[in-house]
């Protein structure tokens, strides 16, 4: 069985190829015939198909990153200028592009994936998430936030923290942090480097060692927090899953 998310991505890619959006790629006559047989390509006018294909890419980005805070220069791995497309939708909505309008259905779809219509709100959105991170730091004294952590208002704060780190390291194409943003994150002890992560691992290991020496076991529930607020139980659970190969891109060193 094909996962629904994977199928949606594949269908969006077929539309993009059909519309000539992916350089060097095309559908054969046989492939077009097969897609037409299920009314996939004929279902929408060409302009609507192009919009739907880009929308599916934007939706995929939102699912992966939790927002549409995309640089105007952002290009997908397949070469689609998604950042420019999102910027264009915002301009159409604002009435800047004469003769172009978004349908109510298109507006609703973009609202569903967190579209920020006012460009000034992009900065406001970053600041709002930063304030949540700052509140967490003020309460706990660190930014040791699990990737899956969600704040009380529903913000995927763990994902956001991780993304700032990736942007800082240059791992997110066409995106960057301003010097002011970097300084603000430094104030709340943002962990930028792998060396800092290794030190953090050692700190948590020492907490586990202290627990073991006190109680004689490591049967720690996932919800357990150490006195300094570190989610020690969840960290230990993650180490166990890493060791058992549940995270293909992560592993524990022999040491």
pLDDT tens for 23-43 read 678 888 788 778 777 655 554
Give the per-residue pLDDT at 78.
80
Mean pLDDT, range 57-62, rounded to an integer: 90
Residue 1, pLDDT above cutoff 50 = no
Q: pLDDT digits over 74-132, tens only?
A: 888 888 888 889 888 888 888 877 778 888 889 999 999 888 887 666 677 788 889 99
Tokens at residue 125, please?
């959105």
Q: Can you give the pTM of this predicted structure? A: 0.42
Cα R_g (the chain), whole angstroms = 23
Contact 15, 53 (CB under 8 A): yes
- The predicted structure's pLDDT at residue 2: 55
pLDDT tens sequence across 179-219: 888 999 999 989 887 555 666 777 788 888 888 989 999 99
Residues 211, 218 contacting (CB under 8 angstroms): yes
Spacing of C-alpha 70 from chain mean position: 11
CA dist list (Å): 161 to 80, 113, 209: 26, 20, 28
């Amino acid at each position: 069985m094909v996962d629904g998310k994977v199928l949606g991505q594949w269908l969006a890619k077929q539309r993009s190829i059909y519309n000539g959006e992916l350089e060097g790629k095309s559908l054969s006559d046989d492939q077009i015939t097969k897609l037409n047989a299920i009314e996939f390509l004929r279902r929408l006018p060409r302009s609507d198909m192009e919009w739907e294909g880009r929308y599916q890419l934007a939706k995929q980005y939102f699912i992966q990153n939790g927002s549409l805070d995309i640089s105007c220069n952002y290009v997908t791995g397949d070469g689609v200028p998604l950042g420019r497309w999102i910027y264009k939708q915002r301009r159409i909505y604002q009435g800047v592009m004469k003769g172009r309008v978004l349908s109510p259905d298109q507006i609703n779809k973009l609202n569903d994936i967190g579209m920020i219509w006012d460009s000034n709100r992009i900065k406001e959105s970053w600041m709002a998430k930063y304030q949540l991170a700052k509140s967490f730091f003020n309460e706990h004294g660190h930014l040791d936030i699990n990737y899956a952590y969600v704040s009380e208002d529903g913000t995927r704060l763990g994902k956001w923290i991780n993304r700032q780190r990736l942007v800082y390291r240059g791992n997110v194409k066409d995106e960057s942090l301003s010097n002011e943003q970097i300084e603000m994150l430094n104030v709340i002890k943002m962990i930028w480097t792998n060396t800092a992560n290794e030190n953090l691992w050692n700190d948590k290991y020492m907490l586990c060692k202290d627990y073991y020496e006190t109680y004689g076991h490591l049967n720690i529930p996932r919800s357990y927090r150490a006195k300094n607020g570190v989610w020690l139980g969840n960290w230990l659970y993650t180490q166990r899953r890493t060791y058992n190969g549940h995270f293909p891109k992560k592993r524990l060193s022999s040491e």
